[in-house]
Amino acid sequence: MQPTMPRGKIYLIPTTLGSYETSDQVLPSYNIQIIFGLTEFIVEQVRTSRRFLSFIKHPVPIDQLVFHELNKTTLHKDISQYLESIQDGKSIGLLSEAGTPCVADPGAKVVEMAQERGYAVVPLVGPNSLILALMGSGFNGQHFVFHGYLPIDKSELIKKIHEMEGNIFRRSQTQLFIETPFRNDAMFDILVNNCQPVTKLCLATDITLSSETIVTKTIALWKKEKPDLHKKPTVFLLYK
Amino acid sequence: MQPTMPRGKIYLIPTTLGSYETSDQVLPSYNIQIIFGLTEFIVEQVRTSRRFLSFIKHPVPIDQLVFHELNKTTLHKDISQYLESIQDGKSIGLLSEAGTPCVADPGAKVVEMAQERGYAVVPLVGPNSLILALMGSGFNGQHFVFHGYLPIDKSELIKKIHEMEGNIFRRSQTQLFIETPFRNDAMFDILVNNCQPVTKLCLATDITLSSETIVTKTIALWKKEKPDLHKKPTVFLLYK
């Protein structure tokens, strides 16, 4: 009988939000050590991943690293192939494009398969805009829901906003969601026109960047002072 | 007219989960820089906070630092007093006992008041067991809900479990919750006896510690292999 090779692990690796210059601010030094020990990565875009790994000065020449691309067209059998090295005893990294892998970010399909195969999955600490926004909002962190993107259809959207407000007042549940940055201003208008004046809205913009602002006000107060959210990554939070 | 003093900020400061030895692993070096610049902290327990600040070698003698204690008996007017330094131009820190402030952790009342007064609130990156568990689970990170602790009453609890399962299959919504560590085994038994065999349960235990395990299996498979969760901090996640 052949000895069993110890399996590799899959590390889930966060990156900065928007600017590599914030690396020391948002990534523990341990992450860099782990990344330096890896030579095979599952990534969303090879080009930007190479740039990030160059920025942090990966000791292996970038063209000797192996990249597997993960996007909406990636098939189940491709992912299966990406994970082959783990079976052979080599650890690999699932590298986010911005923020933490798998949370409001692709990658969950890869982790799902790794779990099905019993591989060790090791998430590393990094900036998650949802949690940072929730911390800064002053809202209930014992009970919250993240909806991802809300419906685009206006009547569906208004229905959803009313459902969220119901859960705020009935369940004391903080409501989090995101929007495509160029639609932020339209979302803001719909919120102030459809929420109750006493409902609180927190706008968490440019999280971890030097332009970061996290501001909570009632809808009544926001009506008097429209913020500039155009094209700025923003987490929206509603609570009472 | 007197010149207006620029106001201080309130930094929301995560700490390690369970072992200070993991500091380099879970805290960006920037956090330590920020903490070193602060001399006034709102904390849950003065004793453990002093120990943490000693561990990271805060340059100011510990007995010259100012601590304000925050617990269930802290009054609104106490918090108001804790924030006075900010008005006077001094920045202060809200220091978690473990993990990130305000998320499944006290502190939201302090941030709520800081927001009402228009102070700058700056959350720092650190280990959040919910997000790390969600990353490692392989479950849907585009839509999820955190329930905090579930009801203690058994019939209420079973009702809640069925409600959660409904939202998994109807809304593709990942369900997260926690339990007092000495009740983990009882919670596990109730889950395997009341969820559908095809439902998936992820148990994320001892997150960020050397004993960390994050394992996802169907209820049918968990029934065959009971894990040891006794007194181990665990995040429970359900999905399909």
Residue B68 near residue B85, CB atoms below 8 Å: no
Contacts of A15 in chain B (CB under 8 A): none
Question: Is the pLDDT score of B3 beyond 60?
Answer: no
The Cα of A223 is separated from the nearest Cα of chain B by a number of Å equal to 16
What was the ipTM of the complex prediction?
0.96
B111/A145 touch (CB, cutoff 8 Å), yes or no: no
How would you label A120-159 residue by residue, b for 16+ Cβ within 10 Å and e otherwise? bbbbbbbbbbbbbbbbbbbbbbbbbbbbeebeeeeeebee
Contacts of B127 in chain A (CB under 8 A): 125
Contacts of A114 in chain B (CB under 8 A): 138
Residue A72 tokens, joined: 């909406």
Model confidence at A4, pLDDT cuts 50, 70, 90, reads low
A148/B143 touch (CB, cutoff 8 Å), yes or no: yes
Whose tokens are 């706008």? That residue is A203
- Which pLDDT belongs to residue A106? 80
Instruction: Specify the pTM.
Output: 0.96
B28/A24 touch (CB, cutoff 8 Å), yes or no: yes
A125/B25 touch (CB, cutoff 8 Å), yes or no: yes
Separation of alpha carbons B138 and B32, rounded Å: 32
B148/A142 touch (CB, cutoff 8 Å), yes or no: yes
A121/B100 touch (CB, cutoff 8 Å), yes or no: no
One fold for B9-123 and B129-239: no
Residues A207-222 have a mean pLDDT of: 97
Nearest residue in chain A measured CA to CA from B239: A112
Which one of B30, B112, B143 has the shortest CB-CB distance to A25? B30
State whether CATH 3.40.50.300 applies to domain B129-239: no
Which one of B26, B125, B143 has the shortest CB-CB distance to A146? B143
Separation of alpha carbons B55 and B48, rounded Å: 10
Which region holds residue A138: left if phi is over 0, alpha if psi is between -120 and 50, else beta?
A: left
User: B224-234, pLDDT tens digit by residue?
Assistant: 999 999 999 99
Residue B238 near residue B165, CB atoms below 8 Å: yes
> Which of B31, B105, B113, B125 would you mutate first to test chain A, the one with the most A CBs within 10 A?
B125
Nearest to B149 by CA among B109, B182, B180: B180
User: B178-236, pLDDT tens digit by residue?
Assistant: 999 999 999 999 999 999 999 999 999 999 999 999 999 999 999 999 999 999 999 99
Which one of B108, B140, B212 has the shortest CB-CB distance to A141? B108
Nearest residue in chain A measured CA to CA from B203: A115
What value does the mean pLDDT of chain A take?
Answer: 95
Domain ranges of chain B: 9-123, 129-239
- Which pLDDT belongs to residue B74? 92
A138/B127 touch (CB, cutoff 8 Å), yes or no: no
Q: Which helix (H) or strand (E) holds A81?
A: helix A76-82
Question: Is the pLDDT score of A65 beyond 80?
Answer: yes
Which CATH architecture fits A9-123? 3-Layer(aba) Sandwich (3.40)
